[in-house]
């Protein structure tokens, strides 16, 4: 009976493993990863590593055991709906006792394109009959702070208008996942997870300007112009349209936040945006 974290070498997965190891012994944690070499630092901490790819149902069939609690971290590829189904099927066949899933803020009410696979995955988990916990994560600070180099040179570009973003750090979301995976009373629960304080892209640009010591403007453009900027930056057109759809959701208030579930679960305030900017500027 282990806690199994899929996509364990990804940005979020590594943090979840770290948070789990602060709460339970390493022999209670299993990391599922595609690449053994990349997972070697996790294995060095005493965590069992099982090699499996979301695209390989046969490998996934060996990734879980009876009694496991599974964290399904959402994939990033265009076929992730089918990938998630493969994980769900493998976990159920193995006799997993619960599956937690990193979904999207709002769940079934999130009507933008990027959320469609999350809605479908939630329904697939419900259809599976497995006990579940939905971790409906809001936007991450890092979506913006990892682009600071470009922002300092070209400004912040988006089409979200004055919409507010209730983001939190990846570490905050990872801590919430670890609490749910190691605690009791989370079955059949759907947690709406977001930062304590929401902000606009104009406010983000102002804070970045203050900390960087240079003027950084937020350029609010039309959705079509936004898509053109993203494509020019190297994103495929379909991916660019997904991000434009997110900005439209932000403008409509869908990512502004839905309460204080995240701070309550982790037992502390969520990481302020200003702190995340400060960390990113030091890199």
Burial of 42 (0-12, 13-18, 19+ CB in 10 A): buried
Entry pTM: 0.96
Alpha-carbon distances of 15 from 22, 251, 275, rounded to whole Å:
11, 30, 18
What is the distance between the alpha carbons of residues 253 and 226, in angstroms, rounded to a whole number? 19
Nearest to 201 by CA among 269, 261, 263, 277: 277
Burial of 20 (0-12, 13-18, 19+ CB in 10 A): buried
- What confidence score (pLDDT) does residue 202 get? 98
| Max intra-chain CA distance, the chain | 56
* Site of tokens 């009959």: 129
For the chain, 283 residues long, give each residue's pLDDT as a single digit of tens: 899 999 999 999 999 999 999 999 999 999 999 999 999 999 999 999 999 999 999 999 999 999 999 999 999 888 899 999 999 999 999 999 999 999 999 999 999 999 999 999 999 999 999 999 999 999 999 999 999 999 999 999 999 999 999 999 999 999 999 999 999 999 999 999 999 999 999 999 999 999 999 999 999 999 999 999 999 999 999 999 999 999 999 999 999 999 999 999 999 999 999 999 999 999 8
Nearest to 273 by CA among 206, 193, 218: 206
- What confidence score (pLDDT) does residue 17 get? 98
- What confidence score (pLDDT) does residue 76 get? 86
Q: By the 8 A CB rule, do 202 and 218 touch?
A: yes
- What confidence score (pLDDT) does residue 1 get? 80
- What confidence score (pLDDT) does residue 77 get? 82
What is the distance between the alpha carbons of residues 113 and 249, in angstroms, rounded to a whole number? 10
DSSP state at residue 101: E
In CATH terms, is domain 3-137+170-193 a member of 3.40.50.720?
yes
Alpha-carbon distances of 116 from 101, 109, 158, 192, 210, rounded to whole Å:
14, 10, 22, 17, 37
What is the distance between the alpha carbons of residues 243 and 248, in angstroms, rounded to a whole number? 9
| Continuous segment of H or E residues that includes residue 183 | none
């Amino acid at each position: 009976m282990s806690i199994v974290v899929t996509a364990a070498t990804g940005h979020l997965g590594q943090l979840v493993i770290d948070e789990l190891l602060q709460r339970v012994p390493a022999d209670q944690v299993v990391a599922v990863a595609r690449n053994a070499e990349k997972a070697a630092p996790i294995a060095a901490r005493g965590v069992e590593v099982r090699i499996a790819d979301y695209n390989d149902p046969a490998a996934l069939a060996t990734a879980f055991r009876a009694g496991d609690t599974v964290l399904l971290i959402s994939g990033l590829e265009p076929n992730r709906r089918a990938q998630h189904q493969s994980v769900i099927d493998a976990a159920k066949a193995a006799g997993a006792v619960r599956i937690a899933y990193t979904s999207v803020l709002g769940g079934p009410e999130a009507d933008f394109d990027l959320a469609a696979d999350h809605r479908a995955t939630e329904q697939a988990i419900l259809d599976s009959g497995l006990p579940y916990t939905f971790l409906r994560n809001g936007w991450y600070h890092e979506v913006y702070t990892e682009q600071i180099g470009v922002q300092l040179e070209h400004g912040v570009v988006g089409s979200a208008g004055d919409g507010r973003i209730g983001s939190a750090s990846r570490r905050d979301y990872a801590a919430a996942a670890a609490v749910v995976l190691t605690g009791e009373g989370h079955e059949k629960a759907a947690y709406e997870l977001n930062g304590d304080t929401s902000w606009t892209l104009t406010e983000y640009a102002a804070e970045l300007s203050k900390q960087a010591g240079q003027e950084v403007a937020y350029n609010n453009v039309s959705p079509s112009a936004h898509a053109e900027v993203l494509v020019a930056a190297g994103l495929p057109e379909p991916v660019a349209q997904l991000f434009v759809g997110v900005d439209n959701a932000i403008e409509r208030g869908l990512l502004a936040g839905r309460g204080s579930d995240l701070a309550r679960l982790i037992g502390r305030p969520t990481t302020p945006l200003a702190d995340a900017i400060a960390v990113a500027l030091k890199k």
